[in-house]
Structure 1
Amino acid sequence: MVEGADSAARTMPQEQQNRGRRAVRRKKDKGGLARSSLLMAVGTVVSRATGLIRQVLQAAALGTGLLASTYNTANTVPTSLYTLLIGGALNAVLVPQLVRARATQPDGGRAYEQRLVTLVVCVLGVGTALAVWAAPRIVGLYMRDTPDSHEAFELTVTFARFLLPQIFFYGLFGIYGQVLNAREKFGAMTWTPVLNNVVLVGMFAAYLGLMTVPDRVEDITADQVLLLGIGTTAGIAVQALALIPFARAAGFRFRPRFDWRGTGLGKSVHAAKWTLLFVLANQVALTVVTNYANAADQELPRAGAGYSAYTYAQTIWLLPQSIVTVSLVTALLPRMSRSVAEGRIPDLRADLSRALRISGVVIVPAAFLFLALGPQISSLLFAHGAADADSARPLGYMLQAFGLGLIPFSAQYLLLRGFYAYEDTRTPFLMAAWIAAVNIALATACHVLLPARWAVVGMAGAYTVSYAAGLALTAHLLRKRLGGRIDDDGGLRRTYVKLFCAAGPAAGLGWAAARACAGLGSGTWPTAVALATGALVTAAGFLLLARLMKVNELRRLPGMR
């Protein structure tokens, strides 16, 4: 009987056998994707929850005005410089390179990994030292040094000198995380940011509990600056160093190797060239918006209508993206890279379509929720300590302005991974340049034409419009690259039409329910009741309408199947 089966298998057409093997592989990949995505989603939820606690404490300690913006601007600088130095290449280019090295090199890519880590550590070390030395000039790009706000500028520079060493630790975290991702070990990189949040929660709790909380730049003390500076950098250091034992457990041993020539790193550096330009385009837009938003803070130092409010609103807005979309993409990228390497383009298209549909079940209703309930969210989270209801209100308007932009932002983020699977980094750069140009033009118009209190709200809306324009162009170019639409049967389009038809009316009902609770008065508890009522009505309405419209992705979301 066995011999007969073997004979039948030998006579089976080769293409049929190949289809069978691909089907088995897809089934195995889907199971692995489900587990990996769920693990990362849970880790991201915990990380974002602790991060939200940290941010609420931070706003209570520093407020949402100019004082907070000195710290937040200084804390933006190391992240931006790390991303410029090497972060963009680590996140988008090097995973396919590491996967290929592990699959094709006789030593399983170990020597390549060691050379790459050595190169990254050297670049980061030199870059960090230069950044600390040039801190005043770097801060000058993000904040204007005017006679009326010179003290705020000097405080930002002081914070920056404490915080710029984060560049090295961000890089260490990034490269060790990508080494783990290439081995399809996703959990550690998702969970270790919780350690950073724990350190920062403790730091801000100590700041609030042990010191007098200032609400002006002139009132902050040297001890408070020292606590904030050292504590913030220590949190990133703990996060980075915690990955080293996980990398060792996965089989990676770091040994410095400087024999970089002729070892394949040139291809990685060449591929990273376009990614560097991609990051540069994003950072130019960020720098312009930060400068404009800080100008609003300098004009209205205690209004809460500038850069800190913008960053807080954007962080809240990005929560659904971080929990769902990023988790999916991190697990999908190695798999999509294999699909391209093996010529399985239909599998790549199917993965992109499925990721867009599954993530949309969370992203679309979340975007409408922010649009409907932004002021209630901001008041509940940020009207405490050094901030009050009046200074938290502009933040809520910014959250509403960001709102619907979450949909094109998330979709564009996913679609770009289709190009990265081809190791095409030039097209994502062109997309970033287009988005940055639209964002800068609209933000400049807001800065020039709107009063300071509303200028940054307008910039949040400009961000939304720029990503809508970016998504349209990205989808067009990816369709040309794949030789057809991602969803040949129109399933993706139908899913999003249903999601909009369910989320829009549900958010309208949620807004009306929250407004109906306005008679309860002001303060934390009335606001919490209004927000909870609005959110529950929105969620219930969305689930009911989505089920009536037969949105099948609702059943797939829990396991990311």
Structure 2
Amino acid sequence: MSLVKKFATVGSGTMLSRLFGFAREMMMAAALGTGPVAEAFYAAFQFPNTFRRLFAEGAFNAAFVPLFAREIEAGGVAGAKKFSEEVFGVLFSILLVLTIAMELAMPFVIRYGIAPGFAEDPAKLLLTVELAAIMFPYLICMSLGAMMAGMLNSLHRYFAAAIAPVFLNIILVGILVVAWYGGYDGREVGWALGWGVLTAGIVQLAIVFFAVRRAGVSIGFRRPRLTKNVRRLLWLALPAAITGGITQINTLVGTAIASGLPGAVPSLNLADRVYQLPLGVVGVAVGVVLLPELARALRAGNNIEAANLQNRSVEFTLFLTLPAAAALLTMAEPIVRVLYERGAFTPQDTALVAQVLSIFGVGLPAFVLVKAFTPGYFAREDTRTPMMFAAVSVAVNISTALWLFPTMGAPGIATAAAVAGWVNSGLLLGVLIARGHWSGDAGLLRRTPRLLVACALMAGAIHLAVTWLEPQFAPQSPIYVQASALAAVVVGAMVIYFGAAFGLGGADLGMIRRNVRRKGDASAAPADPD
């Protein structure tokens, strides 16, 4: 199975989740706008979601996957099953204690950590605490689910883990539809969404649990013990969790700072939803697939294949991410207007969210490159170095956000996140090169500037098209006119970019077919039949 096909398998599931996520955000924007209930829900959901990224996706995709893959090679499925059961027992116990402690401390944590700016509005603060208490057990489901997703990825079964997150957005969209036709008020919508998040966590866990059983590994509960393998996992997981969740750490910091300005928290979240589409489809797919592939190549002593995997992953990342960044930078306002401007969401909200989105676009390539560079460390079981860079990134983000927020508001927080992302990606690449773990091949070095030229041509064309179609994008234009105009610009931009990229030699189909297909594919595990 080629690397591109694996990227496509994970990316398609992520794409489906993001599309349903758009539907969810569009309906929430219409129902709640950027008002106090929206602020409370986004702040409350950010809390368990951050822990999920820190202690689940970040830690287990970075630390668990290489160790699980090593157990498969050393002891077969039986050895991997024993290791996974040992980890399951310890992980479940830690999560249970953490959840109980956080539920008891929730009022304090929200008041002084997550949303200190809500203190001036007791009703909004109370609603945030209530929603966070409902949603926090989601962490248990998603952390155990992330462990099982890591097992599936190591077994070359990517589909179930990629499709499970879709159900969060399906369930929340269903709740919003019921709320719309049932005439729920804002507070009732918030409560229903909170219970929907918890329900979705249970559904997602069930999907990957049965997928693991179907893959031939049934997990039983063992009394939690700190065995040698578990200690090794925990030693690797702590820095990996911080590193893998760096975007969420910065988002959490931004949420806490933004809580001091009404409307800033939902504005950041709505913009985040848009740029998360390319970040999720490209960045998450590259990170999930590259780590086990790179770890396998390094264990086999195949440094040539490892170098090829890294270079092709970055090339794939830039090929799809650079045009997305250019589009967000040049047409953010039409995108936001078509997606969100209806119901309680006003033209003033559109202007603010569009400004935030265009700034996030500047940081998008950096956010995705971090996903492509960190497997170069994790596959070598080095999780401490990326953790240090993540700490630097957080420090840059906090200091820049505190500096810019008083004068710029929400766009200042977006600027801080973009700057921190570029600092983090630059440090990761620089040390990989210094250690001799990265060598850019001639193809990557030759094609990158040509992709930049193709993006510049596309951005210029988008600017002209948006200016020409300004009457169609006006707030008073019917939604179908706005959507048609946006679709025309997007299609035209794609034609120009891909035409220029292939015409200038920034991309080549033959190169992709030759270099992405793994040399040892014939002996690799079969693809996921799902």
Tell me the TM-score normalized by structure 2. Answer: 0.91
1:389 aligns with 2:369: no
Q: Distance in 2 between matches of 1:226 and 1:402?
A: 30
State the Cα distance separating 1:146 from its structure 2 match: 5.9
- Identity %, equivalent residues: 24
Look up the match of 1:13.
Answer: none
User: Do the aligned partners of 2:43 and 2:114 also contact (CA within 8 Å) in 1?
Assistant: yes
Look up the match of 1:550.
Answer: 505
Q: Distance in 1 between matches of 2:13 and 2:189?
A: 31
1:487 aligns with 2:440: yes
Look up the match of 2:32.
Answer: 62
What are the Cα deviations for residues 292-323 of structure 1, in whole angstroms up to 9, with x where unaligned? Answer: 211112xxxxxx4x011111211211211211
Look up the match of 2:81.
Answer: 110
Mean alpha-carbon deviation: is it higher for 377-386 or for 537-546? 537-546
1:329 aligns with 2:270: no
User: Do the aligned partners of 2:37 and 2:190 also contact (CA within 8 Å) in 1?
Assistant: no
Q: Distance in 1 between matches of 2:202 and 2:502?
A: 46
1:179 aligns with 2:151: yes
Q: Distance in 1 between matches of 2:389 and 2:220?
A: 38
Aligned match for 2:237, one of 264, 272, 275: 272
Look up the match of 1:245.
Answer: 210
State the Cα distance separating 1:35 from its structure 2 match: 3.4
Q: Distance in 2 between matches of 1:259 and 1:67?
A: 40
State the Cα distance separating 1:147 from its structure 2 match: 6.0
Q: Distance in 2 between matches of 1:156 and 1:235?
A: 19
Question: Residues 320 and 286 of structure 1: is their aligned pair in 2 closer, same or farther, counting only changes over 3 Å?
Answer: closer
Look up the match of 2:223.
Answer: 258
Aligned match for 1:527, one of 482, 499, 504: 482
User: Do the aligned partners of 2:118 and 2:259 also contact (CA within 8 Å) in 1?
Assistant: no
User: Do the aligned partners of 2:47 and 2:252 also contact (CA within 8 Å) in 1?
Assistant: no
State the Cα distance separating 1:281 from its structure 2 match: 6.4
Q: Distance in 2 between matches of 1:554 and 1:294?
A: 47
Helix, strand or coil at the partner of 2:260: helix
Q: Distance in 2 between matches of 1:553 and 1:119?
A: 48
What are the Cα deviations for residues 437-496 of structure 1, in whole angstroms up to 9, with x where unaligned? Answer: 111111111123x1xxx311122122112212222221110012235x42143x323222
Q: Distance in 2 between matches of 1:124 and 1:237?
A: 15
Question: Residues 370 and 119 of structure 1: is their aligned pair in 2 closer, same or farther, counting only changes over 3 Å?
Answer: same
What are the Cα deviations for residues 220-272 of structure 1, in whole angstroms up to 9, with x where unaligned? Answer: 3xx44432221221122211212221111101112112263444211111112
Tell me the TM-score normalized by structure 1. Answer: 0.86
1:518 aligns with 2:483: no
Q: Distance in 2 between matches of 1:192 and 1:104?
A: 30
Helix, strand or coil at the partner of 2:364: helix
User: Do the aligned partners of 1:282 and 1:433 also contact (CA within 8 Å) in 2?
Assistant: no
Helix, strand or coil at the partner of 1:387: coil
Q: Quick one: which amino acid aligns to residue 230 of structure 2?
A: L
Q: Distance in 2 between matches of 1:81 and 1:293?
A: 19
Residues matched between the structures, number: 511
Look up the match of 1:210.
Answer: 182
State the Cα distance separating 1:346 from its structure 2 match: 2.4
State the Cα distance separating 1:278 from its structure 2 match: 3.4
Q: Quick one: which amino acid aligns to residue 456 of structure 1?
A: A
Q: Distance in 1 between matches of 2:425 and 2:191?
A: 43
Question: Residues 78 and 57 of structure 1: is their aligned pair in 2 closer, same or farther, counting only changes over 3 Å?
Answer: same
User: Do the aligned partners of 1:401 and 1:458 also contact (CA within 8 Å) in 2?
Assistant: no
Gaps of 5+ in 1: 1-30, 215-219, 298-303
Structure 2 counterparts to residues 325-474 of structure 1, below 5 A: 325-448=283-406, 450=407, 454-474=408-428
Q: Distance in 1 between matches of 2:11 and 2:246?
A: 29
Q: Looking at CA atoms only, which structure, 1 or 2, has the larger radius of gyration?
A: 1
Mean alpha-carbon deviation: is it higher for 370-379 or for 321-330? 321-330
Q: Distance in 2 between matches of 1:379 and 1:286?
A: 23
Q: Quick one: which amino acid aligns to residue 481 of structure 1?
A: R
